[in-house]
Structure 1
């Protein structure tokens, strides 16, 4: 039984072409220079020392003046001193926004329900849930036996566990079938490297064994004697070895069950919802493989469900005597099949349940004894489809808004006809619903409480903007009802556009503070995501990657030219691969934006993808390309932000990273900012902050994360509305 993090259940609370200069920007969009604010402290702008490093491949030599900023041990005194100088400069240049930051923080945290809790779910006679303690950063994972009126039993108090740590994440908690033991995975650095401990709820204490260097994937055997977990590679940080731990023994004696030798695959482990299987999944960008182990036979070996085949992606769920399979076998947007384990290795023998369609993408499946629930995406919107196994029911759950997101929720058991699902929009806080699959009757279990927020004061909508190649790109918009959409309002345009990850129009607490100040908030659903189906993703990866950047630029121009937003006060934001988007866009069309925020940006694309010792590199050749191949190298060089920094004016720019980031190493943005400082021809603001305690997700904690968001929003608001 899995503990589902409150941050996931309340996902709406959480925050995240060529590179030649653009010469076709209308005059009215020319960026205004914004000089750095002078302060009495007078800290000089940091300029990193140049130490040229030649990087040669395919007969081409690139010179990296700032390669020395890389230190995999994160201990080099000169590198750390440079980062601290950047942090000091950041603090100086943002000092005048401190009152605004504080106001934003108070607004954002004031909209958090102090007593926020998840909707309890029943499993094995216990009601499990998470709740927050007012004023504290971390959730409490607890349960009550029999009824919610029974005394509370606290299983994990995140606040107590976080004491003494600058960063803390309870990455996972798995309860044994007899509900006696709780295995928890904790990350105290932000590099997604976990320590696993096992709580004995009867004794009220943790067992002496501590498993180190683990991923967050955990699965119990049916008898509760064995815990399966994934060990991480010490260099690449890939979770690559399945280990079996017997309770009461030393982790040094844990048995290796399986080792993945192909480092282009990521690996995960979980217990099936039916409880019958321990599931091991291997996934590359375009290839999937599942293996199964009978949970009642923990000493056995994993059995391959269907061997991996390049280009074949599939996912499985189990209920009763059948497996349901979501597969792109003969269906670009995926189809759904039913099969038995005996026939699993022969896709031609699978029974088609939902054929593939050009107008709908199958994103997820949940199987029940008598029902199948499908998460589909049509016309860019996530929907929930319900089908009965006997063929008498096939319907979609209804929504009241035109621009929304709906998703199947966490449903513990396959032996039910009641489904939980979620609903949200840019102006509607998250809701948890329950539907009787047979009758169709729905019940609202919980509407997220947002103190001081009145949804009637805000508006949301969706538009399509035609990109330069004729492709219609959807854009989600939110604004205050008093904000005119006449080209006079400042705007923040957000984008991602990679990995097939769709940026859905969830409710975003922090964004309300922008809307209240007259901003329009726009999400550009650009290619590289999967909003418009699988082909949308294919058109924004590998040798089509530049479409992602072109779409974002063209969406911005379309909003400006359509008199929706103010061309003089247009801002952009993206993180991780969205930070790559920001870097590519400001190289290509630097005058289109007055300011940009790039969070943990993946900007040194070619150098990183040439180094297979860096975590994640080998697993992403099918996303970006393998620059060891000349054609891919040449194409990636055309957009890699670091390689295309030019002697030109850039917009005001804030860059943030975490020293312990395992996804995008800190030295990528550090080098990028150093090169920008060296080459830019403007005197706009260029600010770089490194969180010395955090990783890819920034600060941990319910309240602390809003300190960083307030900082980023203050940067934008101060540019758009100086003095506010």
Structure 2
């Protein structure tokens, strides 16, 4: 793996790499387009690999002066992290499961101990200082030692693991390349031996049937679309596996799982705008896999099994009656949409996102006014509508709350996670009967961290069309003494209805404690303010995403929080497209921009239906091959196509050679064009040669990777020489 932070070169580069121009001209809908750098997509070419290595060498040279700062930031992250630690145990059937991490080890281990009795719902408290050769709890069983599995590999990722209902066998999936194609293996937990069964080329983990004799898993097609669900019988080869479901529509992905009650196996098939569920009743397997309700274009729904007033029911979360979804009830069998009965009718002020069913209560995941909420519906054996409907409430102005690990249908508590930008991640158990919250653990921050040293704010910026865009911000109180502007790091994503909710970061403290502020721009394209927020930031409305980010940047300047010459923007993947677009449209608004695994050549990618994700993404970006209007819309904002002959802020682009989601060639071409066309473009490309979309694996490598980025940001912000408070 070549790392610009540590590699050496035999010869110091005299200047940035200059990619040769080899024009390729294409024509669509009468529009002619010339691409000078398409040749960089051949990652098997020695010439291309040499160019990428040259990019890393140039980045190393240009950031050599930050080596000591990188080391300092890495040391700060390490010093603030409790390296030997463990998660809060979660009860699954007759065991408590938890993860352990150890000082000096990259990955850690997963473990379990038996429950003390059928009514044991209080998580045991393991010894937090137990060494790797000591059990954290009496009777501890190590299920997977990930450091052992990772030996000999430059990259390692656990794709998922699942244990048979009787607790005797473990299926787990690993990726040692970074291309997100996993191999599933099976472990006998009594003997510790691996079975002969091996399943190659899967999307991730699997789902056991109720008997523990069959594992259902998903594979992808050549364009990396999850299209098939298979059933593997233990003791047979993969060649003998039965194809259970095949999704032939190229816009749809599939997945499978079990309901929390273990009664039904479900196969979900969905596009960006439409979904369909098939269900298999474990109590009546002879009925086979049945479609719950046939897909209707534009109708999204999900299915969960519940027991209401003693009767088996399906809960259906759907958008057939409104864009922000409604919760309906049906019999526990295939039911046409006309017979779905509303339990929580559609409310345009509340976006319903998910529902969890338990024996005594329902938990609804929702958001309102940009904030997440957990809504509890207490059930009554005599009434299908229940006896209680209320929110789990917290005091902070800006926070994120969500349901945690809750695998048992009969559990009386709700495990939830809570975090703010100043309060570290906290795990609670919420007793539905008493309505009491019990703090089980708050992520430790070593070195004397005090959340009272920091202040959090919710601000609102006015976008170009008058829309109010929320901003979440955190800063040290002493940095803003007197109200003077401070250096500021602004982050955003803005796609796929994925919300960038407030969260805590130990690594971020290295910025905050040097006097910078950190803010999240909750731009359109995300889901923070409901479905309309998403719809208004995709397809023909994508420009709103970029306008919102620029508006947030300018609001932070105009309201005195910062100045444009001390403002750095950052985004990754689809958020990297955002960064590339604003680099062209508003370069004067930023001193620097960080684009991680950036989707900066969307027109080329969306014109190639053979590439991973392209067809499934038509509902997000449009189909420029078939639709001239979609072609023009994407061409109008495409970062690669709109590089201009004007000054640019400093730019750091980061990517990985084995990324299957956003190919490395996109930022490689973008950087080449910025240097060729832009004026005084100080742009760097850092490419991991042994990683995928998520970057390097292993926590220490991830810390070093983030330290590299943070050191670059601190340099742009003028804080490279500032010691942390």
Query: CA contact under 8 A between 2:184 and 2:205: conserved in structure 1?
Result: no
Query: CA contact under 8 A between 1:267 and 1:280: conserved in structure 2?
Result: yes
What is aligned with 1:70? 41
Query: CA contact under 8 A between 1:221 and 1:296: conserved in structure 2?
Result: no
What is aligned with 2:440? 445
Query: What is the Cα deviation at residue 650 of structure 1?
Result: 0.7
Q: 1:208 is paired with a residue of what secondary structure?
A: strand
Counterpart pick for 2:526 among 522, 529, 542: 529
What is aligned with 1:455? 451
Pair 1:98-2:103 in alignment: no
Task: Judge which range, 171-180 or 485-494, deviates more.
Answer: 485-494
Pair 1:328-2:323 in alignment: no
What is aligned with 2:245? 258
In structure 2, relative to structure 1, the CA distance for the partners of 1:543 and 1:182 (3 Å cut) is same
Pair 1:51-2:22 in alignment: yes
Query: CA contact under 8 A between 1:487 and 1:566: conserved in structure 2?
Result: no
Alpha-carbon distance in structure 2 between the residues aligned to 1:522 and 1:507: 12
Q: 1:308 is paired with a residue of what secondary structure?
A: coil
Alpha-carbon distance in structure 2 between the residues aligned to 1:70 and 1:297: 51
What is aligned with 2:677? 679
Alpha-carbon distance in structure 1 between the residues aligned to 2:219 and 2:416: 33
Counterpart pick for 1:248 among 224, 227, 235: 235
Alpha-carbon distance in structure 2 between the residues aligned to 1:374 and 1:326: 10
Aligned residues: 681
Query: What is the Cα deviation at residue 42 of structure 1?
Result: 4.3
Alignment of 1:186-585 (within 5 A): 186-233=174-221, 235-295=222-282, 301-320=288-307, 321-342=312-333, 344-390=334-380, 391-452=386-447, 453-484=449-480, 486-585=483-582
Query: What is the Cα deviation at residue 723 of structure 1?
Result: 3.8
After superposition, what is the alpha-carbon deviation per residue over 1:516-555, rounded to whole angstroms, capped at 9, x for unaligned?
A: 0111101000000111111000100111000000000011
Counterpart pick for 1:588 among 585, 590, 596: 585
Alpha-carbon distance in structure 2 between the residues aligned to 1:112 and 1:208: 39
Query: What is the Cα deviation at residue 115 of structure 1?
Result: 2.3
Alpha-carbon distance in structure 2 between the residues aligned to 1:291 and 1:640: 38
Query: CA contact under 8 A between 1:222 and 1:296: conserved in structure 2?
Result: no
Alpha-carbon distance in structure 2 between the residues aligned to 1:298 and 1:86: 57
Query: What is the Cα deviation at residue 351 of structure 1?
Result: 2.2
Alpha-carbon distance in structure 2 between the residues aligned to 1:671 and 1:568: 27
Alpha-carbon distance in structure 1 between the residues aligned to 2:319 and 2:379: 21
Query: What is the Cα deviation at residue 224 of structure 1?
Result: 1.1
Alignment of 1:147-186 (within 5 A): 147=116, 149-186=137-174
After superposition, what is the alpha-carbon deviation per residue over 1:463-515, rounded to whole angstroms, capped at 9, x for unaligned?
A: 11111211110000000111117352100110010000000001122111110
What is aligned with 1:639? 637
What is aligned with 2:53? 84
Alpha-carbon distance in structure 2 between the residues aligned to 1:315 and 1:480: 42
Alpha-carbon distance in structure 2 between the residues aligned to 1:456 and 1:352: 44
Query: What is the Cα deviation at residue 392 of structure 1?
Result: 2.0
Alpha-carbon distance in structure 2 between the residues aligned to 1:614 and 1:110: 42
Alpha-carbon distance in structure 1 between the residues aligned to 2:523 and 2:306: 36
Q: 1:443 is paired with a residue of what secondary structure?
A: strand
Q: 2:438 is paired with a residue of what secondary structure?
A: strand
Query: What is the Cα deviation at residue 296 of structure 1?
Result: 6.0
Q: 2:303 is paired with a residue of what secondary structure?
A: strand
Alpha-carbon distance in structure 2 between the residues aligned to 1:139 and 1:435: 28
Q: 1:483 is paired with a residue of what secondary structure?
A: helix
What is aligned with 2:121? none
After TM superposition, the score normalised by the length of structure 1 is 0.92
Pair 1:123-2:92 in alignment: yes
Alpha-carbon distance in structure 1 between the residues aligned to 2:342 and 2:503: 33
- Higher RCO (Cα < 8 Å, 6 or more apart): 1
What is aligned with 1:29? none
Alpha-carbon distance in structure 2 between the residues aligned to 1:381 and 1:211: 41
Query: CA contact under 8 A between 2:229 and 2:254: conserved in structure 1?
Result: no
What is aligned with 1:135? 104
Alpha-carbon distance in structure 2 between the residues aligned to 1:334 and 1:140: 39
Query: CA contact under 8 A between 2:305 and 2:332: conserved in structure 1?
Result: no
After superposition, what is the alpha-carbon deviation per residue over 1:215-240, rounded to whole angstroms, capped at 9, x for unaligned?
A: 1141111111111111221x212221
Query: What is the Cα deviation at residue 375 of structure 1?
Result: 1.0
Alpha-carbon distance in structure 1 between the residues aligned to 2:597 and 2:369: 30
Q: 2:663 is paired with a residue of what secondary structure?
A: coil
Query: What is the Cα deviation at residue 41 of structure 1?
Result: 3.1
Query: CA contact under 8 A between 1:579 and 1:602: conserved in structure 2?
Result: yes
Alpha-carbon distance in structure 2 between the residues aligned to 1:675 and 1:302: 52
Alpha-carbon distance in structure 1 between the residues aligned to 2:163 and 2:533: 39
Q: 2:292 is paired with a residue of what secondary structure?
A: strand
Q: 1:484 is paired with a residue of what secondary structure?
A: helix
Alpha-carbon distance in structure 1 between the residues aligned to 2:205 and 2:341: 31
Query: What is the Cα deviation at residue 341 of structure 1?
Result: 2.8
Q: 2:342 is paired with a residue of what secondary structure?
A: strand
Query: What is the Cα deviation at residue 44 of structure 1?
Result: 2.5
What is aligned with 1:616? 613
Alpha-carbon distance in structure 2 between the residues aligned to 1:242 and 1:365: 24
In structure 2, relative to structure 1, the CA distance for the partners of 1:316 and 1:56 (3 Å cut) is same
After TM superposition, the score normalised by the length of structure 2 is 0.92
Query: CA contact under 8 A between 2:568 and 2:716: conserved in structure 1?
Result: no
Structure 2, unpaired ranges of 5+: 1-9, 117-123, 125-136, 381-385
Alpha-carbon distance in structure 1 between the residues aligned to 2:79 and 2:34: 49
Alpha-carbon distance in structure 1 between the residues aligned to 2:421 and 2:602: 32
Pair 1:692-2:689 in alignment: yes
TM-align CA RMSD = 1.5
Query: CA contact under 8 A between 2:172 and 2:205: conserved in structure 1?
Result: no
What is aligned with 1:113? 82
In structure 2, relative to structure 1, the CA distance for the partners of 1:268 and 1:120 (3 Å cut) is same
What is aligned with 1:21? none
